[in-house]
Amino acid sequence: MINSFDDSFFSIQYTYIMAKFASPLKKYVLRTILVIFLIGAGWITNLIWFKPFNIRHFYDRVFLEFALESPELVTQLGIPVLYDLSKDELTDVSDKKQWESFNKTKKDLEMLRSYSRDRQSKANLLNTDILEWFLATNVDGEPYFYYDYPVNQMFGVQSNIPSFLENSHKIRNKSDVEAYISRLSKFDTKFSQVLEGLKIRQDKGIIPPRFVITRVLDEMKGFTGQSPDNEIDIEKKDRKDAIRDNILYVNLDTKLNEVDDISEEDKKDYLIRVEEEIRSTVFPAYQKLIDYFNGLYSMANDDDGVWKFLNGDAFYTYMLRQYTTTDLKPEEVHDIGISEVARLKKEMLDILKNQNYVDTTKTLGELIQALNKEERFLYSNDETGRKEALEEYNRIIDEINNNLDDAFDIRPKADLEVRRVPEFKQEGSAGAYYNGPAMDGSRGGIFYVNLRDMNEIVKFGMNTLVYHEAIPGHHFQIAIQHEIEGVPIFRNILPFTAYTEGWALYAERLAWELGFYEDNPFGNLGRLQAEMFRAVRLVVDTGIHFKKWTREEAIDYMVENTGMTTSEVTTEIERYIVMPGQACAYKIGMIKILELREKAKNELGEDFDLREFHNVVLKNGAVPLDILEQIVDDYIINSSDK
Q: Indicate if the pLDDT at residue 2 is higher than 70.
A: no
C-alpha closest to that of 235 among 284, 308, 188, 187: 284
Q: What's the pLDDT tens digit per position in 428-450?
A: 677 899 999 987 888 899 999 99
Element (H, E) at 417: strand 416-420
Taking residues 179-193, what's their average pLDDT?
98
Taking residues 631-639, what's their average pLDDT?
95
CB 56 within 8 A of CB 472: no
Check residue 34 and give its pLDDT. 47
CB 296 within 8 A of CB 539: no
End-to-end C-alpha distance for the chain, whole angstroms = 50
Between 212 and 423, where is the model more confident?
212
Check residue 587 and give its pLDDT. 98
Q: Which residues contact 197 (CB under 8 A, 6 or more apart)?
A: 93, 94, 95, 98, 146, 150
CA distances from 574 to 210, 366, 451, 556, 629 (A): 11, 22, 19, 13, 33
Element (H, E) at 419: strand 416-420
Element (H, E) at 230: none
User: What whole-number distance in Å separates Cα of residue 613 and Cα of residue 186?
Assistant: 48
The radius of gyration computed from the CA coordinates of the chain, to the nearest angstrom, equals 27
C-alpha closest to that of 381 among 447, 465, 456: 456
Classify strands 432-435 and 416-420 as parallel, antiparallel or unpaired.
unpaired
Check residue 422 and give its pLDDT. 85
User: What whole-number distance in Å separates Cα of residue 14 and Cα of residue 17?
Assistant: 5
So where are the chain's domains? 1-50, 55-145, 157-302, 319-599
Element (H, E) at 150: none
Check residue 10 and give its pLDDT. 28
Going 90 to 96 to 102 to 105, the CA torsion angle's sign is negative
Neighbours of 104 (CB within 10 A): 14
CA distances from 216 to 211, 241, 390, 460 (A): 9, 22, 28, 33
Q: Which residues contact 6 (CB under 8 A, 6 or more apart)?
A: none
Q: What's the pLDDT tens digit per position in 320-350?
A: 999 999 999 999 999 999 999 999 999 999 9
Q: What's the pLDDT tens digit per position in 559-576?
A: 999 988 888 899 899 999
User: What whole-number distance in Å separates Cα of residue 169 and Cα of residue 77?
Assistant: 10
Backbone angles phi, psi at 447, to 5 degrees: -100, 110
Amino acid at 6: D
Going 313 to 318 to 321 to 324, the CA torsion angle's sign is negative
Q: What's the pLDDT tens digit per position in 53-96?
A: 899 999 999 988 988 899 999 999 888 888 999 999 999 999 99
What 8-state DSSP symbol labels residue 432? E
User: What whole-number distance in Å separates Cα of residue 376 and Cα of residue 399?
Assistant: 22
Q: Indicate if the pLDDT at residue 103 is higher than 50.
A: yes
